[in-house]
Amino acid sequence: MGITATVPGKVHITLKVNGEEMEVSFAPYKTLLEVLREDLGLTGTKHGCELGECGACAVLVDGAPLLSCLTLAIECEGRAIETIEGLANGPELHPLQEAFADLGGSQCGYCTPGAIMTAKALLDNEPEPSSQRIKEAMAGNLCRCTGYQQIVESVEKAAGCCRHAERVKA
């Protein structure tokens, strides 16, 4: 008996990433993390464990933060996926990105995309979180460089900017 690969055939679906419909073929066991990084070339989303324990891979799916390493890509058909690449508007950064850069919320930067996406989900739902609330919301995002202080400060600063922007719009 010859040895054969047990790799199954590919599925072909359309994913909606950062507002854009993207057709993609991939093996059905692939996680959203793998499809984003390997098949769609969106390498902004990172991975620190692929076990759902570090938060580096967090993206938003229908507005909720989701660990892309634990999510099958086929389950995301028809849902709105947001990644770090979708946050800036051309050269104009999202207030969270500005704040993380300005305040040192990003040192090695590896945990940063997951941290920013998690923070975005928080601020989208709770525009005025206390610092304790920010810490709790970010507790699933491990960072080994910053000690979290500058991350929490970045989220606080961004919250202020977001509220300001809302007021200006109103």
Partner 1 sequence: MLMTNLNVVGKRVLRQDAYEKVVGGKGFPVNFSLPGMLHGKMLRSPYPHARILRIDTSRAEQLPGVKAVMTPKDVPQIPFNPIFFMPAGSMGIHRDMLILSDTVRFAGQPVAAVAATTVAIAEQALQLIDVEYEELLAVFDPEEAMKEGAPEIHVGVKNNIRDTPSFSAGDVEAGFKDADYIFEGTYETQRVHTCYMEPRVCVSDTDSNGHITIYSSIGHLFGLRERMAYVLGLPVSKVTAVQAPYVGGSFGSKIDFAYIEALSALLSAKTRKPVRFEHTRYEDFICNARHPMKVHLKTGIKKDGTFTARYASTLCDTSAYSTHGPEVILVHAYFGLMLGYRSPHMKWEGTVVFTNNMPGGAFRGYGAPQAAFAVESQIDEICDKLGFDPIEFRLKNTPRQGDPHPFNPEWKLNSYALDECLNKGAERMGWSQRAKTGSASGAKKRGIGMAAHPLWVSGCVGFPDIYEHSGAIIRLNVDGTAYLSSATMDIGSGQNTTLCQIAAEELGLAFDSVRMAPGNTDNLPFDAPTHASRVTYSSGNAVKVAAADAKKNLLEVAATVMEANVADLEVRDGMITVKGSPAQAMSVADVVKRAESPFMVIGAQGPAPTTLKEKGTIMGISSVAPPANASPAVAEFVEVEVDTETGQVKVLRAVYAHDLGRVVNPAAAEGQVEGGLQQGIGFALMEKMLFDPETGACLTSDFLDYKMPTAVEMPSKIECIFIESNEPTGPFGAKSLAEACLIVPAPAIANAIYNAIGVRIRSLPITPEKILAALGKL
CB-count burial class (<10 Å; 0-12, 13-18, 19+) for 158: buried
Shortest Cβ distance from residue 147 to partner 1 (Å)? 3
Q: Which is nearer to partner 1, 116 or 162 (CB)?
A: 116
Cβ density class 38-63: b for 16+ within 10 Å, e for less: ebbebebbbbbebeeebbbbbbbbee
From residue 44 to residue 63, the character string flagging contacts with ligand FES as x (rule: CB under 6 A) and all else as - is ---xxxx-xxxxxx------
Q: Is 144 in the site for ligand FES (CB under 6 A)?
A: yes
Contact residues for partner 1 (CB under 8 A)? Answer: 2-7, 27, 42-51, 53-54, 56, 83-85, 87-88, 93, 96-98, 100-104, 106-113, 116, 131, 134-136, 138-152
**Quick one: what does residue 135 bind among ligand FES, partner 1, none, with the CB cut-off 5 to 8 Å set by partner type?**
partner 1
Which residues are CB-contacts of 89 (< 8 A; sequence separation ≥ 6)? Answer: none
Q: How many residues bind ligand FES (CB under 6 A)?
A: 22
Region 97-126 residues binding ligand FES, contact defined as CB under 6 A: 106-111
Laid out side by side, the sheet with 58-61 consists of 20-26, 11-17, 80-82, 58-61, 64-67
Cα 138 to Cα 119: distance, rounded to the nearest angstrom: 7
Region 64-93 residues binding ligand FES, contact defined as CB under 6 A: 67, 69
